Amino acid sequence: MSDHRDQMSIRQMLEYARQACQIAAPYRRPDLDTNLMLKYTLIYLISVLGEAARRVSQPTKNQYPQIPWAEIIGMRNRLVHGYDTIDLDLLWDTVQLELPPLIQSLEGIVGRQAG
């Protein structure tokens, strides 16, 4: 891995992904329509996860092609710049379907960093 900054960013990505999954766990998709705290918390966590991914250097991104870097950063950009047209179904699916395998991949990377 390139440097300490990359290591920190990857650890942050893992933490934000875990937090989003943990916070969403007791809820269902319709709750995003009525629970503003849930909605904005998930938007924030996915946004900062994408920002942390954006900060990872290109050599480190190349080292871990199993991480969908462009998609993560693209989601962040959609949430931050398209804040007035957020697709809540896409947000929910991201948390429910995309984050669990991402967490597994990031745990593997962080485990190699520690070892």
Q: Which of 18, 54, 81, 112 is catalytic?
A: 81
- Position 114 confidence tier, pLDDT thresholds 50, 70, 90: low
- Position 115 confidence tier, pLDDT thresholds 50, 70, 90: low
Domain count, the chain: 1
Q: Does residue 6 register a pLDDT over 70?
A: yes
The answer to whether residues 50 and 76 touch, using CB atoms and an 8 Å cutoff, is yes
Taking only the tens place, the pLDDT of each residue in 100-110 is: 999 999 999 99
Angle at Cα 68 formed by Cα 4 and Cα 93, nearest 5°?
120
DSSP 67: S
Q: Which residue has the higher pLDDT, 17 or 85?
A: 17
State which residues form the domain around 35.
4-114
Q: How many alpha carbons fall within 13 Å on the CB side of residue 75?
A: 25
Q: Could you confirm whether 18 is annotated as catalytic?
A: no
Task: Tell me the C-alpha distance between 42 and 98, whole Å.
Answer: 13
pTM: 0.92
Residue 5: count of CB within 10 angstroms of its CB:
13
Compute the average pLDDT of residues 40-53.
97
